[in-house]
Structure 1
Amino acid sequence: MDVCEYCQHFPFNEQDILCPSCGAPRTLHLPSGTVLADGRFTIKNVIGQGGFGVTYQGTDALLARNIAIKELFPTGSLRTQNVLVTPSTAPAIFEQQKVGFINEFRVLARFSHPGIVRVHDVLEENGTAYAVMELLSGETLAQRIARQSRLPLPASTPSHVLSPRHWPSSIPSAFCTATSSQITFTLLPTSASF
């Protein structure tokens, strides 16, 4: 038996398509093989999920490369045949979030720096928005913090910054990716709108 991704507390039976408790579909993620942008991008699998969206690994058929696809999918949203359905009480709020999401990734696309993820495209489809980015390997910042007590920062970094007691108590796993030599930001916290 599975636990509902939406309400988190009512188990599915094997024959259930919808959650018997809240009516959510069995999964909130786009299925593997879903295509976007008239077939250019294909979803492979989920690699992360947070309060405002889902990140998938995918492929770019035009450029023949693996990519990351971030989908705006705020908490409380549902999906009907791959189309996002926002809660009926929040369509105006969702539209603001969508505009903010698109604008944030348009700004990120202007940067070219090894410490910031490269954005390849932004699109609207399925009633929501998507950002197509380079696919990074490594561990999340949360995983790095759990594994070691110091971040890989320059030796000139003040010691109080390196102390875990100064780190936020909850660091989103999608915030950045760390390799042995650098941290790359995958989402810059510049807007509180999403």
Structure 2
Amino acid sequence: MRPTSGLTFGGRYQLSNRIAIGGMGEVWQASDLVIGRTVAIKILKDEYLGDPGFLERFRAEARHAALVNHEGIANVYDYGEEEGSAYLVMELVPGESLATILERERVLPTDRVLDIVAQTASALHAAHSAGLVHRDVKPGNLLITPDGRVKITDFGIARIADQVPLTATGQVMGTVQ
């Protein structure tokens, strides 16, 4: 099912505008019609719905991100599958990605860089303490709020430490840059 403005998922999340397109899906701003909150909803691309491996990675993203409660990690609220679609509902983080900021500003002041690194390290420490390894930390997955807070997103290829991996031996995961 192709996401469009006005479409409702799970009987409660009404799409309003597309925020981003990623490798596994699209992210939309949506309204939770039940409790009146604005959320972000990540919808898996149709071409991956028939692939059990991709669908399991998407389900795993919901489970993994829900394991950690930290101010530096975007909250996951819900997950669902219906009528040929799979979706993940999460906190709508105001601001922009570090990648967007770097494209615009090119060079950041040292104190700002150190603050971003410290906040990111704190959030990753919380994830690691819960046994979760992100595996794709990059500027595009670090959202910076207007007040300078960092929120890590996209736990799509994360895995639980000591858990059987979802990747095959020799398979490359993450973002090559």
TM-score bracket, normalised by the shorter chain, equals: 0.5 to 0.7
Higher relative contact order (CA 8 A, sep 6+): 2
Q: What is the 5 A alignment of 1:24-103? A: 29-38=2-11, 40-73=12-45, 84=46, 86=47, 91=50, 94-103=51-60
Give the alignment's Cα RMSD to 1 decimal: 2.7
Give the number of the structure whose residues are more often helix, by fraction: 2
CA shift in 2, pair 1:109/1:36, >3 Å: same
Aligned residue pairs: how many? 137
The sequence identity of aligned pairs, in percent, is 30
CA shift in 2, pair 1:156/1:135, >3 Å: closer
- Structure 2 unaligned residues grouped into runs of 5+: 119-137, 160-165, 168-172
Structure-2-length-normalised TM-score: 0.67
**Structure 2 counterpart of 1:36, which letter?**
F
- Look up the match of 1:109: 66
Query: Once the 2 structures are TM-superposed, how far is the Cα of residue 31 of structure 1 from its aligned partner?
Result: 1.3
CA shift in 2, pair 1:155/1:124, >3 Å: closer
Structure-1-length-normalised TM-score: 0.62
Decide which structure has the larger Cα Rg and report it: 1
Runs of 4+ in structure 1 off by over 4 angstroms are: 191-194
Q: What is the 5 A alignment of 1:1-194? A: 29-38=2-11, 40-73=12-45, 84=46, 86=47, 91=50, 94-146=51-103, 147-150=105-108, 152-154=113-115, 173=140, 175-179=141-145, 180-188=147-155, 189-190=157-158
1:162-183 CA distance string (max 9 Å, x none) = xxxxxxxxx574x221124221
